[in-house]
Amino acid sequence: PLRSFEKPSMPTNYNDLRDALKQGFERGACSSLTFRRAQLVALVAMLEDHKDEAVAALASDMGRPAAEAGGEVAVSIREAKDAASSLERWSAPEPKPVHLMMQPSHAAVRRSPYGACLIIGPYNYPLMLCLEPLIGAIAAGNATLLKPSELTPATAAFLEKRIPAYLTAEACRVVTGGVEVSQALLATQWDFIYFTGSPRVGRIVAKAAAEHLTPTALELGGKAPAVVLSSADVGEAARRIVNAKALNVGQTCIAPDYVLVDRSQHTALVAALTAEMRAMFGDEPHASPDLGRMCTVGHFDRMAKLLAESGGTQRRGGAPPPGR
């Protein structure tokens, strides 16, 4: 007869994993500039050795065109190289003047790592926005637990597979999973938390961090209007707006959300935007190989609902593709 097994329960916290990172940090495993540089060089090697795999993962998760996905990999490589070449300058004491009453003495600012850090990555740039804060954490001498977004499983699997093969366990460990994993991670006390995502989830992260007085960096979404003045070159403005908005189909924190245009330019700008979109993506944008896709059906439906309820007139677009 078949035996039944219960699904392993999800941990309520990650204290053991945090402790392992903390112990390595306290032994000084991450402190030397030689170690930090070696980890950053290894991260560059990982991305260079497996660029095609990373690009394929981004295409699977986001429908990203090869050029866009390759750009995300290239930016991460550049950041790691820049950090590796800047370690001495960043870590050097910064001399400060001393008040006459304190003479003779010397003062300097010395930058020290926090310890065991948690990074929770977003879905919109699931590779770059996991690796960039990781690069900073490594460069500063921290030990890091990285949690990629569950909405981009192929990229999360890439990071979970490749990072342990290139970076030491003292420098970085990767945990994947859904909301319940994030909740358990936030129930754990960290020395620093770096979160990229929405203001709604940012409030949850901030509240959890406040329980332990944990310092945080919250990179949250906002609004980014484009302003077109009466003196603007309308054609150039349209090209820049469409380019910026079409990158990752608008799933970028600094993508233009709306346009403020001088009344004298309104008609010309609408015509120029319409022409520019047709020139870039044809009459059926959803069929264009140069346009990415929304991350999930839920994200797509939310955008469609906003458009339907906007009360505006649709000048460009088309029917949603099969399966959206």
On whether the CB atoms of residues 125 and 72 are closer than 8 A, the answer is yes
On whether the CB atoms of residues 79 and 44 are closer than 8 A, the answer is no
Helix (H, G, I), strand (E, B) or coil at 4: coil
Strand-pair partners of 217: 194
Helical ranges in the chain per DSSP H: 15-26, 33-49, 51-62, 66-91, 128-140, 153-166, 179-186, 199-210, 234-246, 266-281, 297-308
Helical ranges in 92-152 per DSSP H: 128-140
The residues, ordered by sequence, that sit 6+ positions from 76 with a Cβ below 8 Å of its Cβ are: 43, 47, 127, 128, 131, 132, 135
Annotated active-site positions, please? Answer: 219, 253
Q: What's the angle, vertex CA 315, arms to CA 309 and CA 317, rounded to 5?
A: 80
Q: What's the angle, vertex CA 221, arms to CA 215 and CA 226, rounded to 5?
A: 140
107-109 and 192-197 as β-strands: parallel, antiparallel, unpaired? unpaired
Residue 73's CB is within 10 A of a number of other CB atoms, namely 21
Residue 43's CB is within 10 A of a number of other CB atoms, namely 27
